[in-house]
């Protein structure tokens, strides 16, 4: 089967990783994949979150379709107006992965709902819509998306690549954050709690990622506080080695989709701490990790950080449960099998 995939290749983020992992796995299963990167199409503006294509983008993309003649077109929706035009410019069966972040906090939820409400009428014209969680599905149902068009296939991780490391030699407890250094990730709450509890005397905090807030935060939180700023790491083997050094993964976000960083941490056997934002809490419940209230992250972390350092046996138990949950529900190989079924259902003649 020929599948054309429209997604992102840069800048490095969860959407990029998602598209890369899924298409590689599909090719391994015998699919013929033609990847069209959003950033390769003519555009006026690009960022980690938004893309604003030029008027020539639709014409350029149509040329790709005419040349490749796909049986299915899969779009990893990236908050671009081109996403809304696709049902108009092609008759190829369209499958969408819709994964903008969301939250249940009333003031922030209004902003997220505006994005969802804008997309809803256009999503209804896709053949199938892949969502990452049941909470995500319920939100779209409220906006009028037909239930029969939605398929819940969560993010997944290659559990053969992301494996636990059992040979850790360090004595300090290492906490890891992986993701954008931006406002919605709520890093100041984590950093303030870390400094308030003088955690630098008992452990290290590694921050893997880059973003608009990094320069300001680096001046106030330094190596003297036990904090290491490691920038964005695109090389997957190197990133996995960094995760292997960690004991605890922390994601203090205001808003999330279903964090790939969280699933990578689970697969590597890290204890995971995340907020009740997006679908992250759905992953960690029941009793799999620590779920924080997004409005009280600073205060809750002041208690959680010292506790996790002191309770090595608790970390060991949660580490085992993390890996077990990943294998049961979030293995990439299994989720690609579900995607295979979706493709064949929208194109039954293949």
Q: Model confidence over 240-266: pLDDT tens digits?
A: 999 999 999 999 999 888 999 999 999
Q: Looking at the structure, do residues 97 and 221 belong to the same domain, yes or no?
A: no
Average pLDDT over residues 319-341: 92
Q: Looking at the structure, do residues 115 and 69 belong to the same domain, yes or no?
A: yes
pLDDT of residue 9: 79
Helix (H, G, I), strand (E, B) or coil at 90: coil
- Percent residues over pLDDT 90 in the chain: 63
pLDDT of residue 109: 64
The DSSP-derived string for 277-296 is: STTHHHHHTTTTSEEE-GGG
**Is 106 among the domain residues?**
yes
Question: Do 105 and 126 contact (CB within 8 A), yes or no?
Answer: no
The first and second tokens of residue 262, run together, are: 């969280």
pLDDT of residue 314: 92
User: Strand order in 173-178's β-sheet?
Assistant: 227-229, 203-208, 173-178, 248-251, 271-275, 290-292
Q: Looking at the structure, do residues 207 and 134 belong to the same domain, yes or no?
A: no
Helix (H, G, I), strand (E, B) or coil at 324: helix
CA quadruple 212, 214, 217, 219: dihedral, nearest 10: -120
Q: What is the spatial distance between Cα 328 and Cα 331, in angstroms, rounded to a whole number?
A: 7
**Is 148 among the domain residues?**
yes
Q: How many CB atoms within 10 Å of residue 117?
A: 12
**Is 96 among the domain residues?**
yes
pLDDT at 350 exceeding the cut of 60: no
Residue range of the domain that includes 8 = 2-156+332-346
Confidence of residue 183 (pLDDT cuts 50, 70, 90): very high
pLDDT of residue 129: 95
Q: Looking at the structure, do residues 197 and 111 belong to the same domain, yes or no?
A: no
Tell me if the bond preceding 293 is cis, omega within 30° of 0: no
- Beta strands per DSSP E along 254-323: 271-275, 290-292
φ and ψ at residue 96, rounded to 5 degrees? -115, 140
Q: Looking at the structure, do residues 189 and 316 belong to the same domain, yes or no?
A: yes
Q: Looking at the structure, do residues 103 and 87 belong to the same domain, yes or no?
A: yes
Burial tier of 30 (Cβ tally within 10 Å: 0-12, 13-18, 19+)? exposed
pLDDT of residue 313: 92
**Is 256 among the domain residues?**
yes
Q: Looking at the structure, do residues 41 and 184 belong to the same domain, yes or no?
A: no
Does the predicted TM-score (pTM) go above 0.75? Answer: yes
**Is 162 among the domain residues?**
no
- pLDDT tens digits, one per residue of 270-298: 999 999 988 899 899 878 899 999 999 99
Q: What is the spatial distance between Cα 20 and Cα 180, in angstroms, rounded to a whole number?
A: 18
pLDDT at 107 exceeding the cut of 80: no
Q: Looking at the structure, do residues 113 and 197 belong to the same domain, yes or no?
A: no
Q: Looking at the structure, do residues 256 and 339 belong to the same domain, yes or no?
A: no
pLDDT at 106 exceeding the cut of 70: no
Q: What is the CATH number of the domain that holds 111?
A: 3.40.50.2000
Number of domains in the chain: 2
Confidence of residue 84 (pLDDT cuts 50, 70, 90): confident
**Is 317 among the domain residues?**
yes
pLDDT of residue 175: 98
Helix (H, G, I), strand (E, B) or coil at 73: strand
pLDDT of residue 287: 82
**Is 289 among the domain residues?**
yes
pLDDT of residue 174: 96
Confidence of residue 50 (pLDDT cuts 50, 70, 90): low
pLDDT of residue 48: 61
């Amino acid at each position: 089967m020929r599948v054309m995939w429209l997604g992102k290749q840069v800048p490095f983020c969860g959407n990029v990783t998602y598209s890369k992992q899924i298409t590689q796995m599909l090719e391994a299963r015998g699919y013929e994949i033609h990847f069209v990167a959003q950033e390769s199409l003519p555009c006026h503006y690009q960022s980690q979150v938004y893309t604003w294509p030029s008027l020539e983008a639709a014409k350029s993309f149509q040329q790709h379709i005419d040349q490749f003649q796909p049986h299915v077109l899969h779009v990893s929706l990236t908050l671009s107006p081109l996403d809304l035009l696709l049902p108009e410019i092609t008759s190829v069966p369209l499958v969408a992965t819709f994964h903008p972040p969301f939250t249940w906090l009333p003031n922030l939820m209004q902003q997220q709902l505006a994005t969802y409400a804008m997309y809803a009428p256009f999503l209804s014209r896709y053949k199938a819509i892949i969502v990452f969680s049941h909470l995500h599905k319920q939100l779209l149902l409220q906006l009028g998306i037909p239930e029969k068009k939605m398929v819940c296939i969560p993010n997944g991780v290659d559990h053969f690549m992301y494996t636990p490391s059992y040979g850790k030699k360090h004595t300090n407890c290492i906490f890891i954050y992986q993701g954008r250094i931006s406002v919605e990730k709520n890093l100041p709450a984590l950093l303030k709690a870390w400094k308030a509890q003088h955690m630098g005397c008992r452990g290290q905090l590694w921050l893997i990622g880059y973003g608009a807030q990094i320069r300001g935060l680096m001046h106030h939180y330094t190596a003297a506080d036990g904090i290491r700023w490691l920038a964005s790491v695109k090389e997957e083997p190197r990133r996995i080695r960094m995760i292997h050094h960690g004991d605890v993964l922390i994601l203090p976000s205001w808003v999330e989709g279903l964090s790939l960083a969280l699933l990578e941490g689970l697969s590597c056997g890290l204890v995971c701490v995340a907020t009740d934002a997006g679908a992250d809490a759905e992953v960690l419940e029941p009793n799999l990790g620590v779920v924080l209230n997004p409005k009280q992250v600073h205060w809750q972390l002041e208690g959680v950080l010292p506790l996790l350092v002191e309770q090595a046996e608790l970390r060991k138990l949660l580490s085992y449960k993390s890996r077990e949950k990943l294998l049961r529900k979030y293995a990439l190989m299994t989720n690609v099998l579900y995607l295979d079924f979706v493709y064949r259902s929208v194109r039954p003649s293949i």
